[in-house]
Structure 1
Amino acid sequence: MKKVDMNADPALAALQALIAYLAHEGEPMIVLDPAYNILGANPAYRRQFGRAGEPVLGQKCYRVSHHYDVPCDQAGEHCPMRRSLELGGPDRVLHIHHTPRGPEHVNVELRPILDPQGRVLAYVERLCTVRHASAEPSAEGLVGRSAVFMAALESLQRVAPSMLPVLLLGESGTGKELFARALHEASPRAGGPFVVVDCSGLSEALFESELFGYEKGAFTGAHARKPGLVETAQGGTLFLDEMGDVPLAMQVKLLRLIETGGYRRVGGLETRQADFRLVAATHQPLARMVAEGRFREDLYYRINAFPIELPALRERPEDIALLVDSILKREAPAGVPLSLTPAALARLQAHAWPGNVRELRNVLERARLFADDGLIRVEHLPSGLARTPVLPAAKQACDEALLHAVQGFTGTRRTLAARLGLSERTLYRRLKALGPD
């Protein structure tokens, strides 16, 4: 397509008016022609993404955002403009952009501007920085840049504004609570409480009293009324961790709570109304548990409205160095920087991490106690640290979740991969490993 000349055709006056209008928008926005040239940029964009002394207008968007010499799709990434041409409509993607503050996760929404004949005159691109995840070492929150991490984060960004229940799937130690907290922070309920319920190891009676609270005298030792975690989560997010451990008898009451919002404190008669966003997580194969009668089918489908599969650490080896720096930032004593020798980092990158990020954190916490000069060496790492086989139970759980997600899905493999929080390559590899059926 030819570059749009803003001064050559009076028919483009409406486009010029649009550029002027965007100056009053509070979110960063730019206008692009079909040849990727930036025609206009509002003040919010210049403040957040512009670099002092560097021009923006007339520059290629991929050079400003990514420092690429070619469009994103030619550099192996999702290009929203290319996708918009294919779809004939808007597109949205999560990218890592270069900014004055360094690389950042950015939500990009692109919409075509058409002339009366339906031809594309230009595109409007809205950009929103993701504040609850980092593309650089960070002492808190989610950290990652790999394709599988980005896919899970993009799924999280898409579902966060809604009230749909979200089910986080993945092996133990993949950071489900961090993802759940990020989901809360990206939602309209970010100003409300984020309440965690650890469902593992709770008896039926204890689970009910913890979740719903109890009245004075409800049982021996109930000397005063106590609000439950459902009540504490009012106006916010309720995170049910290890959902597969909820006692079967309690699943009925939990289903009623989710469907009607109504519950009673233990020993109480008054029906109270809950107001929370539900996020659940499990490493267990819920679909198999349903088939075996260990988990209610109706509850399963209620909490499984939007599943997100979190990648295992062995699926994101390119993130290990980033995670190592982040963990060391969190664990280092004040004023005492910690780092690794290249050989030690290579050893960590060669390990399969069956315990995922939790195992990596434990290894680094132990190693730093031996690093008197602040430098972690190979000899400070566990002697048996090497590539280890995947634990059969964990692999079985993930395979079960994947097979259930595939059943009945009629969209493209790309769409399924994004929904599961996987790259297309990882999805293809895992489906191939599971066999032709």
Structure 2
Amino acid sequence: MPASAAKPQPSSQLPPSLSPSSAPQVQALISFLENDAQPAIVLDAQYTILAGNAAYRQQFGTDARPFLGQKCFRVSHGYDAPCDQSGEHCPMAQARALRAPDRVLHVHHTPRGPEHVDVELRPIMDEHGEIVAFVERLNTLRHASPIAGQAQLVGRSPAFNQALSAVQRIAPSRLPVLLLGESGTGKELFAQAVHEASTRAQEPFVIVDCSGLPYDLFESELFGHEKGAFTGAHVRKVGLVETAHGGTLFLDEIGDVPLALQVKLLRLLESGTFRRVGSVETRQADVRLVAATHLPLDAMVRDGRFRKDLFYRLNALPIRLPALCERPGDIPLLVESFLRQQEPGGKARAVTAGAMARLVGHAWPGNVRELRNVIARARLFADGGAIREEHLPEELHAATGPSGPGPVLSKPPPPSVVMRSREVSDDALSELAADRRMSRSALAARLGVSERTLYRRLRRLQLP
């Protein structure tokens, strides 16, 4: 049932165990939060939801999904125990220990399905310094999704979520951002996520391909030129810096910027000013700079191929993007997303278990870009409607596991089928874990849980 069609729950449910001196303070806090535009809930120290404001009820609460009096970890995750006992980071445990706010990116189960939610939890103390309640504010991310096909950035692995969390934290800043990652890891998509999560989201997002601009045109493309500035400059041209005014300028592969032009980029970063080619007029630039590279800029600085001062100016907020081999549990999600983006001639709608095992077991030196190209090719040959092992490139058949030839992993789920750990009996889990050809990351992906959650349950059952 959509949240807008649901009957509203009572706004609060104070437990009888709350001390008489604390009850008025908590009730005042609930009343204060009621008209807050950001979804928020109030919790007691036992993880019980005491209240949810109007914004929370609209986004997350329905009659079919009651939350008052429920444990937060059950409502948000479906867990039977707190997050820190289920393989996740628990902000309440950290906030209680530090007596200070804590923030984490989680995948929450919502009326719309799983979503990435940025969670900030603050302890509320009385006049004696005792914690009487906790306030949890929730911000749903719209530029990424843990569900296939719901956004351009797709994933739910710990490595992916760590990069996504860094994006959320740095996006409101005005400082430049440096995205570091191998080719094909989605640097442009992460740059756009920084833009969309910032206060400049409604302004232009301008991409500059630094590796594709000839040296003699680079300065003109970036800063513009005046009429007659050089041969062929018949009219005045506005550069990409001015085009991005008020928004974000994304310099892709900044390591390829000629050394002679790096000083002009430094001036833009330091003073926010530039000059068009052929002009003596200094112009002001209002842009947020996001740069990306797959090159080791620190090594290039030592070799004299990249300016040290520019590197340290860019490196204020670095974000390392994970390679695809660091997030194998996301491969089924990515494959399903690519299958939904059918191109003319593509017939495949599914992937067999054997083919998925090959995909999950491959090292993917070309990362997400290579995976996308493999799926695009395979679905053109999949006349039966499903991609099979023989439709995959030869290099995927050469993968070997620890026990000899064959895929490193086997029998991961079809992309559209994911079990839940709590729905799998101990006997069934024992049988799944006995398949030594399946890695723990693949098993965790099949169960729809983190690897840490899986490890905890395996240890409880004394399974390897």
TM-score normalised to structure 1 length: 0.86
Question: 1:140 deviation in Å?
Answer: 3.8
Partner SS for 2:156? coil
**Amino acid in structure 2 at the alignment position of 1:72:** C
- In structure 1, the residue corresponding to 2:394 is in which secondary structure? coil
Q: Out of 62, 76, 79, which is 2:90 matched to?
A: 79
**Greater RCO structure (CA 8 Å; 6+ sep):** 1
C-alpha distance 205-32 of structure 1, shift in aligned 2 (>3 A)? same
Change in CA separation of 1:327 and 1:42 when aligned onto 2, cut-off 3 Å: same
In the alignment, structure 1 residue 144 sits paired with structure 2 residue 151 = no
Query: After the TM superposition, which residues 325-344 of structure 1 pair with which residues of structure 2 at under 5 Å, given as runs?
Result: 325-333=336-344, 338-344=349-355
Q: Quickly say closer, same or farther: Cα 1:388–1:284, change in 2 above 3 A.
A: farther
CA contact (8 A) 2:224 2:239 kept: yes
Q: Which range moves more in the overlay, 205-214 or 195-204? A: 195-204
Contact 2:102 2:122 in 1 (8 A): yes
Match of 2:243 in 1: 232
Change (3 A) 1:350 1:115: same
In the TM superposition, what is the alpha-carbon distance from 1:375 to its structure 2 partner?
1.5
- 1:295 and 1:287, CA in 2 relative to 1: closer, same or farther beyond 3 A? same
Listed one character per residue, the Cα deviations across residues 208-249 of structure 1 (whole Å, up to 9, x for unaligned) are 011011111112221211111001110000001101100000
Q: Deviations over 1:91-147 (max 9, x none)?
A: 111000000110000011111111111011000110110110001012642110000
- Paired residues in the alignment total 390
Instruction: Determine which of 32, 41, 47 is the counterpart of 1:36.
Output: 47
> Could you tell me which of 119, 124, 130 is aligned with 1:108?
119
Instruction: Give the residue type in structure 2 aligned to 1:112.
Output: P
Partner of 1:276: 287
- What is the aligned counterpart of 1:51 among 57, 62, 84? 62
Match in the other structure for 2:419: none
C-alpha deviations, 1:346-395, integer Å up to 9, x for none? Answer: 11001000000010011011111112243111111112215779xxxxxx
Aligned to 1:124: 135
In 2: Cα distance, 1:356 partner to 1:346 partner: 17
Task: Note if 1:89 corresponds to 2:100.
Answer: yes
**Which stretch shows the higher mean deviation, 369-378 or 119-128?**
369-378
State yes or no: 1:218 paired with 2:250.
Answer: no
Alignment equivalent of 2:173, drawn from 130, 145, 162: 162
Judge conservation of contact 1:351–1:387 (CA < 8 Å) in 2.
Answer: no
TM-score (norm 2): 0.81
2:125 aligned partner, one-letter code: L
> 8 Å contact 1:168–1:176 — kept in the other structure?
yes
Any gaps of 5 or more consecutive residues in structure 2?
A: 1-13, 401-449, 453-464
- Percentage of pairs with the same residue: 66
Partner amino acid, structure 1, of 2:41: I
Distance 2:22 2:239 in 1: 63
Query: In 2, are the aligned partners of 1:167 and 1:303 still within 8 Å (CA)?
Result: yes
Are the counterparts in 1 of residues 361 and 399 from structure 2 also a CA contact under 8 Å?
A: no
| Residues 210 and 42 of structure 1, relative CA distance in 2, 3 Å threshold | same
Match of 1:13 among 19, 24, 30: 24
SS of 1:200's equivalent in the other structure is helix
C-alpha RMSD of matched pairs (Å): 2.1
CA contact (8 A) 1:139 1:327 kept: no
User: In structure 2, do the counterparts of structure 1 residues 294 and 386 end up closer, same or farther at CA, with 3 Å as the change threshold?
Assistant: farther
Q: How does 1:333-412 map to 2 (within 5 A)?
A: 333=344, 338-386=349-397
What one-letter code is carried by the residue in structure 2 that aligns with 1:61? C
Please state how far the C-alpha of 1:21 moved relative to its aligned partner: 2.2
Q: Tell me which residue corresponds to 1:99.
A: 110
Distance 1:335 1:201, change over 3 A: closer
- Corresponding position: 1:289 with 2:293: no
Deviations 1:40-63 (A, max 9, x none): 111211121123333211100000
